Amino acid sequence: MTAPATRVAIYDLDRTVLRKPTFTLFLLWAAARKAPWRLLLLPALAALMIGYALRLYGRDRFKPSAIRLMLGPHLTPARASGLAAHFAAWRVQRDVPPGAQASIARDRAEGYQLLMATAAPEFYAGAIADALGFDAIVASRHQRDADGNWLPMLDGPNCYGAEKARRVAEWLSTHAPGTAHIRAYSDHISDAPTFALADEAWLVGRGDKFVRLATQHGWQTTDFEETTAGAAAKVR
């Protein structure tokens, strides 16, 4: 007997599953818990952010520099795991919009595998995915040293845009071959390559600009601040 084909629901993290972006928030929160004196380095972090905003360098340079500045040259596995778990508990409790909660629960009830796909660092994004009951995650990886310490430098490209779509496609080919139906949810145009892999592409947000953007690309729109958001209209 042939096994039933898999259905997969792909969710972005920042401003989709959570309302607020996580990267800078995590750095500030973790620095305050691990080494409060590093908050004195906020002007340097602001300078890094300005340089990135001015496109003097890209994410692959900005993110490792910001991590090193606010967290230091490494995190031990125990420290990284502890920070990730506490950060996930803090954010999931406060920052998951009702529509995201409903959409995740609905997709799970319909038998979809839940895949989180994000540019956020894998070690804390993975803790958020676990807290929400996701089945898997693709995220930005960071290098480890011989003792397993988590390092600021990226291990491969930042998981963003076309790279995220490549990683998602790789995951699908390995873990869900012959996928019957794919839903994808994101708030941002950068996820157009991931949307191209999906049967249903849902642009998350509200306002005329989202409607125009979705109409231009043939996507659907949903507002995760509403409890009936996501693929509710598709459910029978």
Residue 104 has pLDDT above 50, yes or no: yes
Residue showing tokens 């958020």: 128
Give the per-residue pLDDT at 4.
61
Extended strands (E) in the chain: 7-11, 112-121, 136-140, 142-144, 150-154, 181-186, 200-204, 220-222
| Mutual angle of helices 23-34 and 77-95, in 10-degree steps | 120
pLDDT in tens, 132-141: 999 999 999 9
Locate the domains of the chain by residue range: 7-234
pLDDT in tens, 113-128: 999 999 999 999 999 9
Give the per-residue pLDDT at 194.
98
Higher pLDDT, 236 or 145: 145
Four-point Cα dihedral 151, 154, 160, 166, nearest 10:
-120
Q: What is 7-234's CATH topology?
A: Rossmann fold (3.40.50)
Closest CA to 198 of 176, 228, 226: 176
Bridge partners (DSSP) of residue 115 are 10, 136
User: How many Cα atoms within 13 Å fall on the side-chain side of residue 85?
Assistant: 6
| Mean pLDDT, rounded, for 152-166 | 97
Please give the structure tokens belonging to residue 80: 């990284």
Percent of the chain's residues with pLDDT above 70:
95
